[in-house]
Chain A
Amino acid sequence: MAIKDLPKEEYVLPGSAACPGCPATIALRTVLKALGKRTILVIPAWWTAVIQSWYPHTSFKVPILNIAFEAAAAAASGVSSGLKVLGEKDINVVVWAGDGGTYDIGIQALSGALERNTDFIYICYNNQIYSNTGIQRSGATPYAAWTTTTVGGKREFNKDMGAIVMAHRIPYVATACISYPEDLYKKVMKAKEIRGPKYIEILTPCPPGWRFSMDKTVEVGRLAVETGAWPLYEYENGKMSFNGFSKLILEGKVKRKPIEEWLKMQGRFRNLFKPKRDEERIRRIEEFIERMWEDFRSKV
């Protein structure tokens, strides 16, 4: 599949409230191209609720249910059941929540919806921070990253949300990155055809939050995959498989690029390099990523 094969139809209208270079609208444009107009989005209180723009207008061409931060997955369960009672078929119920709303605040509602076997797609838009409220740490923030609440760099490593979701043994789990739109499109198309709960997590580099120039959004995402900091995988019928560049890394056909290339592009990791190189913390990051890949190799 090439970029040319993606549908022309747009569901995100120009002139929204998003910052220039925002990865949220890049991701949402591709995701909605795959989902089509028979889609209901459930959006908790986060950045995308802002991008929708102000009443009485919205920048999105699909119906949206705005709901409290912790309730997105629960609300989607309600929408999904409601549609069943009305006899409506082929409507995609999709939660579009951030990493704060997924890893931290929304995790109990998400876990419940997965356990109840709700027929919906849960998309976690992972920019590794609470960006809407001004860049605070979340459970997805990586080790040593600066945020306004981790000024010297975060002391803890991020959680493995993919593994938490897979532990619910749902039919489909996938990770994607905005820099690979064909891969993201294919995964959403696949999720659409499966009944039951589906979970897709998209890595979305945030220029003001990660401290890089706004024209580099896609490049930073691509480097995250090429350095192995972000894996692209799918989990179906209890089995994991890897896609694109991540498949080559897993099979040992290419060597991951050094993690430093990705770290150095982002101002949030500046404390690792200035005033002097922090060998200890860089080594810990490298070890963490290597361990993650060894763990993947043992699962495939």
Chain B
Amino acid sequence: MIKYDVVTTISYPKKGAMGKTGGWRAFKPILDKEKCVRCLRCWIFCPEGAIIRKEDDSVEIDYDYCKGCGICANECRVKAISMVREESK
């Protein structure tokens, strides 16, 4: 990464700038890969970008950062994602 020599304060991009936000989650999305039709609706609507789009357009959920909003489950047309309560840690 290029660092700039300037007088003002600047921030640099970082994944997890607020830490691993997966800890905010109360409900966890569980993906049923059998049902998934690779329409990518969950990927484009994920506010966090926590749904990883792979080369073959299959998806995977990044639980380190997923905040558990449930938009992916609500928008999935084939009901391949279900929200399950997180177990107490």
Residues of A within 8 A of B (CB): 3-4, 6, 8, 10, 12-26, 29-30, 52-61, 181, 213-219
Known interface pairs A14-B21, A21-B70; A8-B53 also in contact (CB < 8 Å)? yes
Question: When A and B form their complex, which 6 residue pairs have the shortest distance between CB atoms, in order from nearest?
Answer: A215-B70, A15-B16, A21-B69, A53-B17, A14-B65, A20-B67
Nearest-CB residue, chain B, relative to A181:
B44
Tell me whether A3 and B40 are in contact (CB under 8 A).
Answer: yes
Tell me whether B68 and A14 are in contact (CB under 8 A).
Answer: no
Residues of B contacting A23 in the complex (Cβ-Cβ under 8 angstroms): 47
- If A59-B14, A59-B17 are given as contacts, then 15 extra A-B residue pairs at C-beta distance below 8 Å, sorted by A number, are A3-B39, A14-B21, A16-B48, A18-B48, A20-B48, A20-B67, A23-B47, A29-B49, A52-B17, A214-B71, A215-B71, A215-B73, A216-B74, A218-B74, A219-B74
- The answer for the CA separation of A139 and B44 in the assembled complex, in Å, is 30
Tell me whether A58 and B45 are in contact (CB under 8 A).
Answer: no
Q: 27 A–B contact pairs at CB < 8 A?
A: A4-B40, A13-B14, A13-B15, A13-B16, A14-B49, A14-B50, A14-B65, A15-B15, A15-B18, A17-B18, A18-B47, A20-B48, A26-B45, A26-B46, A29-B47, A53-B17, A54-B18, A55-B9, A56-B9, A57-B14, A213-B70, A215-B73, A215-B83, A216-B74, A217-B71, A218-B45, A218-B71
Tell me whether B18 and A215 are in contact (CB under 8 A).
Answer: no
Tell me whether A25 and B48 are in contact (CB under 8 A).
Answer: yes
Tell me whether B47 and A17 are in contact (CB under 8 A).
Answer: no
What's the nearest-Cβ distance from chain B to residue A36, in Å? 15
- The answer for the CA separation of A6 and B17 in the assembled complex, in Å, is 25
- The answer for the CA separation of A183 and B18 in the assembled complex, in Å, is 31
Nearest-CB residue, chain B, relative to A219:
B74
Chain B residues numbered 36-89 whose CB sits less than 8 Å from any CB in chain A = 39-41, 43-50, 53, 57, 62, 64-65, 67-71, 73-75, 83
Convert B10-22 into 0s and 1s, putting 1 for each residue whose CB lies closer than 8 angstroms to a CB of A: 0111111111110
What's the nearest-Cβ distance from chain A to residue B16, in Å? 3
B interface secondary structure, majority: loop
Tell me whether B12 and A57 are in contact (CB under 8 A).
Answer: yes
Nearest-CB residue, chain B, relative to A5:
B40
Residues of B contacting A6 in the complex (Cβ-Cβ under 8 angstroms): 44
What's the nearest-Cβ distance from chain A to residue B36, in Å? 14
Tell me whether A25 and B47 are in contact (CB under 8 A).
Answer: yes
Tell me whether B44 and A3 are in contact (CB under 8 A).
Answer: yes
Residues of B contacting A61 in the complex (Cβ-Cβ under 8 angstroms): 13
Q: Which of A13, A15, A29, A59 contacts B20 (CB 8 A)?
A: A15
What's the nearest-Cβ distance from chain B to residue A1, in Å? 12
Tell me whether A21 and B18 are in contact (CB under 8 A).
Answer: no
- The answer for the CA separation of A52 and B11 in the assembled complex, in Å, is 9
- The answer for the CA separation of A31 and B71 in the assembled complex, in Å, is 19
Residues of A contacting B73 in the complex (Cβ-Cβ under 8 angstroms): 215
- The answer for the CA separation of A57 and B53 in the assembled complex, in Å, is 25
Residues of A contacting B46 in the complex (Cβ-Cβ under 8 angstroms): 26
Residues of A contacting B25 in the complex (Cβ-Cβ under 8 angstroms): 20
Tell me whether A215 and B69 are in contact (CB under 8 A).
Answer: yes
Tell which of A10, A20, A213 has the most Cβ of chain B within 10 Å: A20
